[in-house]
Structure 1
């Protein structure tokens, strides 16, 4: 079974977008370079190869229009940057001024989105490469560079034309897989040996991952006119799958109880182990389905059918032996599990391409409203030229660091490869201090391991042909991992560069020492520059907290409206749900960055962790009532408890002390019995109110 699992992972990896794109990119670089070398034009081969390599670094997932726009902008920008730099590099002071302007201008493109951010950073890298290559004929060099870029983009666009939904399939498969991981992590709630605080601490990062994958699917799917066209069967199928998996995630989240009470009541009955295993099996089936979908395989045999039937019979036996109250609780849990399982089976049918049913008309959505990212135009770019803009502050940091690295290379005798300092700076430096710090470690670790591997290969292998073949494998490894696992990308590219320069320089090794100390200097500059015009997470912490509370308030308000007989519009409910997902994920990501900043001691980590856990509990409880119980619990007391819970949240997000709707919480509690979950929601919001007051004091 272990070998089968390994085989599946290998198969999935070899078919993944990361590897297949890496293989296509590597071939796109090798073929023209090899051809030109064979024709006896080594200088042209190197220039075309650099152009192809840099063009490949700008590629990111997106729609066909995204890729066309990115290709056009890259070609124009790269040619302009290459032309200017090629004529200015012999004049150090002039080149310093050009580097300042280009670094500041190109890095500001990040205000237009991630794709343009990558293009801007790569354009800076192009200028640095030109400083290192020192071309003598600027126009000819730029033309060959342009040729390499155009060749790569032509191949890339042909691939998009042949397989228009390839990136989207990858995104959907990753979203389903992330949902399976989240579901598997929730089994810990049924293990009384694991503290509940640890359970929430473990699932919160996975919620962030799921939200990230859902956003990627929305971005690729809802902006793709071809996929969203009603007559496009493949696009509509992917739309159905995306809708189903997002709804499934909500159902998984709503399996929420007072787990402390649940563990106490059923810790010795075997129910906890049964439920945990049922959830684990469903997560495994979901994971298997995601892999099969991406590999475009048909229906896979269910390996757990007999075990599920056995576990269900055991759970039914436990229910029969329990008290009426406990039996009712377990029966409700079993219904939730059955509902989730049926949804997984339906999703599997869709993933295997066997479901051709149209999307229900009553579930029509204004899909554009679900898009989080709204791209900015070039006319809006000027509004970011202010110290209040995080984009401008980062651009200044990067510019100062790069120019400092350039001046250092001009003043000190750092060798022929001192431009590696600037390359390290632009690779390592990121807008957030925490990411820069992490990249620094990864760059250093990857470089040192890569140097060790490179030295071992150069010492044991003398054949240039074998070394070149190995360097091509390393190049493939770099393109496979540099986006997803940066440290592995560095580990692959370092020995590849060492082998190439070793052969190109006539088997000299002095550049290896330069590679190490240039990397150390570059990492040091990047880390020091992080303290220049910084944007610390602690300053935005209060806003992030309020955004989470506002999102949960709006979601809880929709429950109150349902209790009072109002039915929220389908589209409005989806937006409220998405808003809670996004705000919780944003807070979690900001909190993780805060933990790596030097000022983390100034905030209460324990209180923030509790704040996270409470908000996840609140969302799960509210969602559970909206989807399952609210329609049958329209009594006055439940309305009163919900109203008071709203008041608790309102006191946190507003300076006015507004009473809850109709002051229902003042009514006599003996009128009608209140549901346990409603009292639980009130308790959660009361603790949040107290916790918020404590955090504000800090």
Structure 2
């Protein structure tokens, strides 16, 4: 056992040691800089946030009002641990209502469950040393889950705090638990009411911006991939950057939609259309990703100016969708589907030619290779074209 531990430690040391000779000639790729966002410290940005249009300013104002109320209330009620009220408010209040609601639920449930768990531990374990050991384990669990599962973290945090107070002062233990639960309840109520009353931030006010960003980045993503089929050259850096931005934008849109679903029904607008739009964004990006997969393997064989028309047609639909979301007065325009029809004719011709070859028992032919490689590419362009039209239709309903 001891030898195995020594070997493991040596292995870790071997792979994590700093070797100047090896590192000296190694240089990071300059491409990495393109994937790192460096925030600019600008005084104008600070000025812009001193406005009710800024979510950061509204959140800061909401927290200030809530903590002031919490402090005054704890002073009036003469609470022994008034800082627990303020701590609860600071932990629960988030920039959006849905996140505050979720954190509020987790804090309350975690506190009550943690108090019950501490009672159980103290009742079952009589040894002071064993209680202290359990407390150490609970501390480790608390800070292991504090970033990944807040509910579990609060349960064990409350438990180890209760056990600690019991060890320090057994006679006032029940009073400490009572204060802990009451203070958490007061802080939770203040935080919940503050998130709903004081300059609240509803997702319906921001969701359109997320939709615009999603369609904008998806357009760039598609343009990058479709150009590969026109030029025959695959720009890997540009592709990875556009893919990253498109996926981040779709994740932000999905997150905003999920937060809206947790808000009061009265604050939800166009929920069905937003859901449909979000699904279409995910579908669009997935088909673009499939097209990119084919581009990396076969674009050098099948690049052609024939893809230019369908690409421009799709970008036109996506651009119209973006303009509709930006300006409600713009109506979707009817776009000719001749390009799509021409591609369908090409696909049907390839399929028909292959069918005739099979009738004559011709197996390994050039048509078979084209059907396997070229037809999926055409299918993806047609799928994306159909999705772009659907997005234009859905956006017109807002």
* Residues 644, 665 of structure 1: 8 Å contact kept: no
Q: Work out whether 1:410 is the aligned partner of 2:75.
A: yes
**SS where residue 430 of structure 1 aligns?**
coil
- Answering whether residue 307 of structure 2 is matched by residue 643 of structure 1, we say no
Alpha-carbon contact 1:639-1:664 (below 8 Å) kept: no
State the Cα deviation string for residues 283-336 of structure 1 (Å, max 9, x = none).
xxxxxxxxxxxxxxxxxxxxxxxxxxxxxxxxxxxxxxxxxxxxxxxxxxxxxx
Matches within 5 A, 1:427-446: 427-446=91-110
1:595-648 CA distances to partner (integer Å, 9 max, x unpaired)? 111257633434333322322222222232233254444456543333222221
Other-structure match for 2:119 = 455
Kindly indicate whether the alpha-carbon contact (under 8 Å) linking 1:594 and 1:600 is maintained by their aligned counterparts in 2.
Answer: no
1:626 paired to 2:264:
no
Report the counterpart of residue 351 of structure 2 in structure 1.
Answer: none
The 1:235–1:523 alpha-carbon spacing in structure 2 relative to 1, beyond 3 Å, is farther
Question: What corresponds to 1:478 in structure 2?
Answer: 142
Residue of structure 1 aligned with 2:381, choices 674, 678, 681: 678
Q: What's the offset of the Cα at 1:574?
A: 2.1
Give the aligned partner of residue 153 of structure 2: 489
Query: Does the aligned pair in 2 maintain the 1:614–1:684 contact within 8 Å?
Result: yes
Corresponding position of 1:654: 323
Alignment of 1:194-205 (within 5 A): none
1:518 aligns to what? 183
TM-score with structure 2 length normalisation? Answer: 0.76
Is this contact kept in 1: 2:310–2:340, CA < 8 A?
no
Q: Identify if the C-alpha distance between structure 1 residues 644 and 600 changes in structure 2 by more than 3 Å, giving closer, same or farther.
A: farther
Contact 2:92–2:104 at 8 Å: present in 1 too?
yes
Question: CA separation in 2, counterparts of 1:523 and 1:643?
Answer: 53
Q: CA 1:664/1:477 → structure 2, altered by over 3 Å: closer, same or farther? A: closer
Does structure 1 conserve the Cα–Cα contact (< 8 Å) formed by 2:233 and 2:300?
Answer: no
Aligned partners of 1:234 and 1:165: how far apart in 2? Answer: 18
Contact 1:635-1:672 at 8 Å conserved across structures: no
Contact 1:649-1:689 within 8 A present in 2 as well: yes
Query: How many Å apart are 1:231 and its aligned residue?
Result: 5.7
Q: Distance in 1 between matches of 2:165 and 2:26?
A: 47
Deviation, structure 1 residue 427: 1.4
Contact 2:211 2:253 in 1 (8 A): yes
Question: 2-side partners of 1:478 and 1:579: how far apart?
Answer: 34
Equivalent-residue separation in structure 2 for 1:682 and 1:654 (angstroms): 18
CA 515–654 in structure 1, closer or farther in 2 if over 3 Å, else same: same
Change (3 A) 1:686 1:633: farther
Q: Which residue of 2 aligns with 1:330?
A: none
Residue in structure 2 matched with residue 542 of structure 1 by the alignment: 208
2:54 corresponds to = 389
Equivalent residue of 1:478, what SS?
Answer: helix
Q: In structure 1, what is the equivalent of residue 132 of structure 2?
A: 468
TM-score of the superposed pair, with normalisation by structure 1: 0.45
Counterpart in the other structure of 1:669: 342
In structure 1, the partner of 2:236 is 570
Contact 2:232–2:299 (8 Å) recurs in 1: no
Work out the CA distance in 2 between the residues paired with 1:464 and 1:667. Answer: 77
Q: What residue in structure 2 maps to residue 366 of structure 1?
A: 31
Q: Could you tell me how far apart the structure 1 residues matched to 2:267 and 2:46 are?
A: 37
SS at match of 2:346: coil
CA distance in 2, matches of 1:486, 1:671: 53
Question: What CA distance in whole angstroms lies between the structure 2 residues aligned with 1:612 and 1:382?
Answer: 32
Matches within 5 A, 1:182-261: 232=23
Residue deviations 1:67-120 (CA, integer Å, cap 9, x gap): xxxxxxxxxxxxxxxxxxxxxxxxxxxxxxxxxxxxxxxxxxxxxxxxxxxxxx
* Pair 479,683 (structure 1): closer, same or farther in 2 beyond 3 Å: same
Superposed CA deviations along residues 475-523 of structure 1, whole A, max 9, x for unmatched, are 2221111121111111111121112222323422112111111111111
Query: Following the alignment from structure 1 to structure 2, what is the Cα–Cα distance between the partners of residues 465 and 581?
Result: 52
Give, in whole Å, the separation in 2 of the partners of 1:672 and 1:163. Answer: 62
Matched, 1:559 2:225: yes
Matched, 1:596 2:299: no
Contact 2:260 2:268 in 1 (8 A): no
CA RMSD in angstroms comes to 3.6
SS in 2 for 1:533: coil
For 2:194 and 2:344, the matched residues in 1 are separated by 65
Describe the superposition over 1:227-278 as per-residue Cα deviations: whole angstroms up to 9, x where unpaired: 9x99639987xx8xxxxxxxxxxxxxxxxxxxxxxxxxxxxxxxxxxxxxxx
**Structure with max Cα Rg:** 2
**Contact 1:443/1:490 (8 A) holds in 2:** yes
Alpha-carbon contact 1:637-1:671 (below 8 Å) kept? no
Corresponding position: 1:614 with 2:317: no
Preserved contact between residue 332 and residue 392 of structure 2 (Cα < 8 Å)? no
Contact 1:458 1:499 in 2 (8 A): yes
Evaluate the alpha carbon distance shift between residue 658 and residue 369 of structure 1 in structure 2; reply closer, same or farther with a 3 A threshold.
Answer: farther
Question: Which sections of structure 2, spanning at least 5 residues, go unmatched?
Answer: 1-7, 325-329, 348-377
Instruction: Please give the alpha-carbon distance, in whole angstroms, between the structure 1 residues aligned to 2:126 and 2:164.
Output: 13
How far apart are the structure 1 equivalents of 2:311 and 2:267? 36
* Closer/same/farther in 2, CA of residues 405 and 164 from structure 1, 3 Å limit: farther
Tell me, yes or no, if the aligned pair for 1:643 and 1:665 is still in contact at 8 Å: no
* C-alpha contact 1:641 1:665 (8 A) present in aligned 2: no
Task: Say if 1:513 and 1:568 are closer, same or farther in 2 by CA, change over 3 A.
Answer: same
Question: 1:679 aligns to what SS in structure 2?
Answer: helix
Contact 1:450-1:491 at 8 Å conserved across structures: yes
| Number of matched pairs | 346
